[in-house]
Structure 1
Amino acid sequence: MPSPSPLLQIDSLRFAYPEVPLFDGLSAQVPAGATLVLGGDSSGKTTLLRLLAGELAAGAGQLVLQGVALQSAPADYRAQVFWGDPRAVTLDEQGVRDWLAALPARYPRFDAAALALHIEGFELQEHMHKRFLMLSTGTRRKVWTAGALASNAALTLLDEPVAGLDKPSIQYLQRALAAVADEPDRAVVVAHYDALAGVPWQATIALPDR
């Protein structure tokens, strides 16, 4: 069972784009298991994940992941986080197999057995020899999600992970997230506009529509 103590503590987070305030004193606790960031378009879901990843700098507030504060030890904090954009052009020339093979060096708790299950579950076998630029939007996201889930990073951030996925892949993703909900030493934070069926969310961060 997940630990009752939060893996990630969000304290009084403030952030605004020019003339567009998003968060003013946002506080939340992210426990082990699966957490849902719930909100509609323009509610700030992606921005919040970028803040949690340390990719964007907050105007105020503090993020502490397993006792490591982003503000005082940014490298150590980010080393515990899996985050990225599967649409990034920097992935285009990378081979799928090579990209996946490089992940264990970045994530010491990487689970090769879990990766094999995700490759099968997302039906990625026929794409392993390809480069990312050869993949459809949905397949590209499935490869990235397989790596993210297998990373075993203390904090894994998934932004709209069903975008471009076919129905069987969505159903597999729901089962994979349900399995993560029982893991005691990692948090998977999913940003989506509704609650994915069958996922036992340990916590929900609801963002107001704007």
Structure 2
Amino acid sequence: MIVVRELTKRYGPTLALDRLSFEVRPGAVTGFLGPNGAGKSTALRVILGLHHPTSGEALVGGRRYDRIRRPMREVGAVLDADAAHPGRTAFHHLACLARANGIGAARVTAVLERVGLAGVAHRRVGGFSLGMRQRLGIAGALIGDPAVVLLDEPVNGLDATGIRWIRSTLRSLAAEGRTVLLSSHLMSEMALTVDHVLIIGRGRLIGETSVARMRDRFARDVLVRSPRADELARVLTGLGAAVTTTGDGALVAVGVDAPTIGDAAAAASIPVHGLTPRSATLEDVYLEMTSGAVEYRAAAERTARP
């Protein structure tokens, strides 16, 4: 488990982290979200012992990262897909990491198989595509079979196949009981991948929730399709719902949930061909929650409406 307590980090007059506190638990993929300059990368670097906090602490498994004797056996991280030397082969890169942490060569072969790079194990990294380098980075993160995995923007520049692979890999790691923390700006992808979200702005935690609770909290309406839409609209209005009609004849009901609509339609013997609860997207919620924490806006953004 990752525990961040009252973490503050200053770079001269700049306050990058301001008493930031959160926990990341095992068994789920946690998304780490925030605008540019919010402090996400700084927080990850402090967790990994690359930066020292001004005050507060960041613990992994109850210890500071720099006090873990063989850290790759406990924490795997990808902060930069280009970290591997381009002149080394994939196997040699991972073998160096393994040797430094007392890990046998058999594990190198195993992680190359897991990330789909066994067929190019002896090719130089300089000839790899971005997607292949991302896979190699994750192989390095997994070389010590760690319980904790941290990834910073792992889907940047990937094609659809690479994105799907990373998504399934992260969910598989969480299903194995590992702690997975993922930072990304791609809201559509985060909505498909994460179970829990941490949202920060200006170095502070401004929101924390599960994706399921977020969908319930920001529920908007229910889209209903029926060949007897007019009759169903009267039934739903009688239940206190506000009902409008779309251009293609579907109903949009506010104030009642999908099960209530289904039960009411069944009781009135009205067929229903479609019943779709709709809620705000993760992007909608993220933009709403971070609207006061964005440091850089274009003129059009300041006047635009969501």
TM-score class, shorter-chain normalisation, is 0.7 to 0.9
| Structure 1 counterpart of 2:64, one-letter code | A
* Residues 181, 200 of structure 1: 8 Å contact kept: no
Give yes or no for the alignment of 1:9 onto 2:6.
Answer: no
* Counterpart in the other structure of 1:3: none
Give 1 or 2 for the bigger CA radius of gyration.
2
* Counterpart in the other structure of 2:115: 118
Seq. identity, %? 28
2:192 is paired with a residue whose SS is coil
Q: How does 1:1-210 map to 2 (within 5 A)?
A: 7-33=1-27, 34-70=29-65, 74-76=66-68, 79=71, 80-83=74-77, 84-88=79-83, 91-105=85-99, 106=101, 113=110, 115-119=112-116, 124-149=117-142, 151-184=144-177, 186-193=178-185, 194=187, 196-201=190-195, 203-208=196-201, 209-210=294-295
* Residues 8, 63 of structure 1: 8 Å contact kept: yes
* Residues 47, 60 of structure 2: 8 Å contact kept: no
| Structure 2 counterpart of 1:48, one-letter code | A
Distance 1:10 1:82 in 2: 17
* Residues 160, 192 of structure 1: 8 Å contact kept: yes
C-alpha offsets along residues 103-154 of structure 1, whole Å, 9 cap, x if unaligned? Answer: 44427596864541321xxxx3553222222223332222112332454223
Distance 1:77 1:14 in 2: 25
* Residues 38, 206 of structure 1: 8 Å contact kept: yes
* Residues 111, 152 of structure 1: 8 Å contact kept: no
Distance 1:87 1:112 in 2: 21
* Counterpart in the other structure of 2:287: none
Moved more, 95-104 or 36-45: 95-104
RMSD: 2.6
Moved more, 50-59 or 148-157: 148-157
Q: TM-score, normalised by structure 2?
A: 0.56
User: 1:20 Cα shift?
Assistant: 2.3
The 4+ residue runs of structure 1 with deviation greater than 3 A are: 101-105, 107-115, 124-127
User: How many pairs were matched up?
Assistant: 194
* Residues 31, 190 of structure 2: 8 Å contact kept: no
Distance 2:118 2:157 in 1: 18
* Residues 107, 152 of structure 1: 8 Å contact kept: no
* Residues 96, 131 of structure 1: 8 Å contact kept: yes
Of structures 1 and 2, the one with the larger relative CO (CA 8 A, separation 6+) is: 1
Q: TM-score, normalised by structure 1?
A: 0.79
